[in-house]
Structure 1
Amino acid sequence: MNTFTSGTARAALRVFLLLATLLTLAAPPAARASTAAAPFKVLALYSGTWDAAHIDFDKEADDWFPRQAAANGFTYTASTDWNLLSNGGVNAYQVVLFLDDLPQTAAQRAGFEQYMRGGGAWMGFHVSAFTTDAASWPWYHDQFLGSGNFRSNTWGPTSAVLKVEDRTHPATRNLPATFTSAVSEWYSWSNDLRQNPDIRILASVDPSSFPLGTDPNQSWYSGYYPILWTNTEGSRNTPETCRRDQPRRRAAGSRSATCRATASTPGRA
C-alpha cells in the first residue's frame, strides 16, 4: 500500500480543507461573496536533488496532490524555484507547501516570513522542520514553529496512541479523546512547548504508547511529546499557527515514500 495515500495523505487533505475554511472565514463578507466560487491556490516548492526517499516522495506528491485538487476544489502548482518566496511570486497563492526542503537564502527566508505575516498558509514535509542549528533562522524554528532543534527520534516506525488535549480547535473538534495513528517515525524537539505562552498544545503521545519504537536503543519509554499544536501569537487569542507533526520514514525495502507533515494556518503581525 502506498503509505503517502493512507494516513498522512488523508490528514493532509483534512488540513487543506481546514485551511480553506479558515481563509474564507478570515475574509470580510464582501470578499467572501466574490471568492466563494474561486478555488484556493496551492504552491508546492521542492528541490528533488538529494535522498532517494525524498525524491520518491516528491514524485508521489506531484501525482497525488493534483488529483486531490481536481476532486476538492483547489489548484496545485509544483516548482523548484524557491525564489518565488523572495520575488513576490508566492503572493498569488493561498497555501505554500515545502515538500523536501526549506528556504536557504536570506531573501527567501525574509520573503516567506513576510508572506506568513501577511496572512499566508503553510504545510511542510520531510526536512522542512529539521534543524540542529535553530539559531541560524530563529524566527522560523523558535518562533513560527516553536520547536527549536531536533532532539531525538524513535525507530523503527510504529503507530502510537495519541491523546487529544484540546477539542475546542477546528482541527481536533471531531476527534475522539484518544486515537491510534498510522505507522510513523516520531520526532522530539529541544524546546518545551508547554513553557511557551504562545503555544496551545492540541494533542500529544498518550502514555499507553510506551515503549514507542522497536529498537531498544531508539525507543521512548516515558516523557511528554506534543504532536499537534497551535501558535496563537498576534491573533487576539485566536489560533493562527497550527502545526501537525507526524514524522514518518519509509521502512527498509519499501518502495513508497512517507513523510513528516507540519501545517500552519495564517499568521498576522
Structure 2
Amino acid sequence: MQQLRSGAARVPLWLAFLLATLVSLVAQPPAHAAPAAQPFRVLALYNGTWDAAHISFVHEANSWFPQQAAANGFTYTASNDWNLLADGGVDGYQVVLFLDDLPQSAAQRAGFERYMRNGGAWIGFHVSAFTTDAQSWPWYHDQFLGSGNFRSNTWGPTTAVLRVEDRTHPATKNLPATFTSSVSEWYSWSNDLRQNPDIKILASVDPGSFPLGTDPGQTWYSGYYPILWTNTKYRMLYANFGHNAMNYDTGTALSSTFASATQNRFLLDGLKWLGGGPSTQPPSDGISETSWYTLRNKGNGACVDARAAGTADGTVVQQYACNSTTAQQFQFRATDGGYLRIANRGGPQPVVDVTDRSTADDAPLQLWSWAGGTNQQWLPVREADGQYRFSARHSGKCLTAPGAATDSARLTQRTCDGSAAQSFRLTAQP
C-alpha cells in the first residue's frame, strides 16, 4: 500500500491558476452602475403683482412645473428677483422662463441679452412679449422675439384650435396637426413674423377657430395669428398663452393654462429640447407615403381629378364623379416641416400646384412638375371625423371644392374657413 505523506498535498499547476483566478474574481468589488444624467436647471422669473389673470397663471406655473420636474429630468426654481439677470445669477441655469413680465432695468436687459448670446435658453409666456414701445428695447422686441409692438387682443379668454406648422421641431414633433389649446387671451403684433427669416412659426390660429373671442369689439374673425414660435439664432420659444379666465370680482380663476394635455406636451418637449433632454419620434398622421388615395369632398361627394387623365404641366385639377381611375389617385410625399407634395398616379412628376404661385382667393389648381415650390406643398390637417383639409405652404389657404357636385368644375385655394368644401375623405386604393 502506498504511504500517504503528511502535510499539504501538491496541487497541479493548472488547477492552482484556476483557483487563483476564481478567488480574484470573487474579491473584485461590484461594478457600479453608470451615474444617472444630471437634471438640467430651470429658473422661472415672475412679477406676480398685476392683473389677477396673470397672477393666477404664475401660481399655477409655480405648482405645475415642480410636479413635472423629476419625471422629466429637470429642477425648477421660481424667483421674483429679476436682478439675477443683472449679476450673473442666471448663469447656473440651463433654461430661464419669463412667466408674466420682462426685464425692466438696463442692467437686467443687458444681462439677459448676454445670457442668450452666450448660449442660454429661454421660454417666454404671453405678457413677456407685451410692449407698445418696441424701440425702448429693440434687440428684444424686434430682433429676438421679432414681434414688435402689441397690436390687439381677443376678449374674453377662450380656447383656440391651433394648427401646428412645423412638426419636425423638437418642441412640436409629438403634437397632432391641430389641437385645442387651453383658455387664454390672445395677442397680435405689429410685425408680420412670416416675413422674418430668423423666425420659425411653430403653430398659429387655425381658421376653424374663428370667430375667436366673446366680445364683438375684441373678436378676431379672420387673419393670420402666430401663437408659438422660435428664433433660429437663439435657443428660445415663445408661447402666446398664460392668461386665465377670471371672475375679477371674487378673484376666482375660471380656467387653467395647464388644462390641455397636448399644450402641456409642447411645454415639456420644449423644455427638454432647450435643456438638453432626450427627444422622441413624431407621431404618424395616418397618411402613408407609399399608398395611393382618392380624395372625396365632404360637401358635394365629388372626387379630386386630373382633367382627362392628363399628366402634362398645366393639367387642370378639377372635381368629377368618383370612379377610382388613376386620374383620381394621389400620393402624399413628405417635404419638410410637416408639409407634403400631392403627386398624381398618372405620372411620376406632376403634383398639385397653385397656378402662378398666386396667394389670392380662387386661384386655380393645376398639375405641374415637382420643382420644390412652396405653392406645391400642402399641410394636412386631420379633423375630428378623420377627414382632412390641406393648406398651401406659400399662402396658408385651403384646397377648396365648389359647392355643387358639378363634373369638371375646377378646384381652387381659398381662405381656410372650416367648411365642408375644404374637407376631404382619403380612401386608400389597391
- More off after superposition, 99-108 vs 252-261: 252-261
User: Could you tell me which of 240, 249, 271 is aligned with 1:245?
Assistant: 240
1:51-96 per-residue CA deviation (whole Å, 9 max, x = no partner) reads 3343343333333322222343322222222111111111011111
Higher strand share: 2
Q: SS of the counterpart of 1:169?
A: coil
Larger Rg: 2
Equivalent position of 2:122 in the other structure: 122
Equivalents in 2 of 1:94, 1:171: separation in Å?
16
Query: How many pairs were matched up?
Result: 228
Which letter maps to 1:255? Answer: T
Which letter maps to 1:210? Answer: F
> Aligned pair 1:255/2:237, yes or no?
no
Q: Go from structure 1 to structure 2 and tell me whether the alpha carbon gap of 1:116 and 1:58 turns closer, same or farther (over 3 Å shift).
A: same
**Contact kept in structure 1, 2:159 and 2:182, CA below 8 Å:** yes
Equivalent position of 1:194 in the other structure: 194
- Sequence identity percentage: 75
The two structures have a TM-score, normalised by structure 2, of 0.49
**Contact kept in structure 1, 2:126 and 2:241, CA below 8 Å:** no
Q: SS of the counterpart of 2:252?
A: coil
**Contact kept in structure 2, 1:211 and 1:219, CA below 8 Å:** yes
Q: Go from structure 1 to structure 2 and tell me whether the alpha carbon gap of 1:89 and 1:168 turns closer, same or farther (over 3 Å shift).
A: same
Which runs of structure 2 are paired with 1:42-53 in the superposition (5 Å)?
42-53=42-53
1:26-52 per-residue CA deviation (whole Å, 9 max, x = no partner) reads xxxxxxxx9961111111222333333
Which runs of structure 2 are paired with 1:75-86 in the superposition (5 Å)?
75-86=75-86
The Cα shift of 1:243 comes to 2.4
Q: Go from structure 1 to structure 2 and tell me whether the alpha carbon gap of 1:183 and 1:41 turns closer, same or farther (over 3 Å shift).
A: same
Q: Go from structure 1 to structure 2 and tell me whether the alpha carbon gap of 1:136 and 1:157 turns closer, same or farther (over 3 Å shift).
A: same
Q: Go from structure 1 to structure 2 and tell me whether the alpha carbon gap of 1:94 and 1:255 turns closer, same or farther (over 3 Å shift).
A: same
Q: Go from structure 1 to structure 2 and tell me whether the alpha carbon gap of 1:57 and 1:186 turns closer, same or farther (over 3 Å shift).
A: closer
Q: Go from structure 1 to structure 2 and tell me whether the alpha carbon gap of 1:43 and 1:195 turns closer, same or farther (over 3 Å shift).
A: same
Equivalent position of 2:424 in the other structure: none
Equivalent position of 1:132 in the other structure: 132
Equivalent position of 2:216 in the other structure: 216
**Contact kept in structure 1, 2:102 and 2:128, CA below 8 Å:** yes
Equivalents in 1 of 2:119, 2:139: separation in Å?
16
Q: Go from structure 1 to structure 2 and tell me whether the alpha carbon gap of 1:77 and 1:181 turns closer, same or farther (over 3 Å shift).
A: closer
Q: SS of the counterpart of 1:220?
A: coil
The Cα shift of 1:254 comes to 6.3
Q: Go from structure 1 to structure 2 and tell me whether the alpha carbon gap of 1:125 and 1:35 turns closer, same or farther (over 3 Å shift).
A: farther
The Cα shift of 1:247 comes to 5.0
Q: CA RMSD in A?
A: 2.7
Which letter maps to 1:46? Answer: Y
Which letter maps to 2:252? Answer: R
Q: Go from structure 1 to structure 2 and tell me whether the alpha carbon gap of 1:79 and 1:161 turns closer, same or farther (over 3 Å shift).
A: closer
Q: Go from structure 1 to structure 2 and tell me whether the alpha carbon gap of 1:222 and 1:247 turns closer, same or farther (over 3 Å shift).
A: farther
Which runs of structure 2 are paired with 1:121-160 in the superposition (5 Å)?
121-160=121-160
Q: SS of the counterpart of 1:170?
A: coil
Q: Go from structure 1 to structure 2 and tell me whether the alpha carbon gap of 1:203 and 1:58 turns closer, same or farther (over 3 Å shift).
A: closer
Gaps of 5+ in 2: 1-33, 275-430
Higher relative contact order, chain-length normalized (CA < 8 Å, sep 6+):
1
Equivalents in 2 of 1:36, 1:109: separation in Å?
36
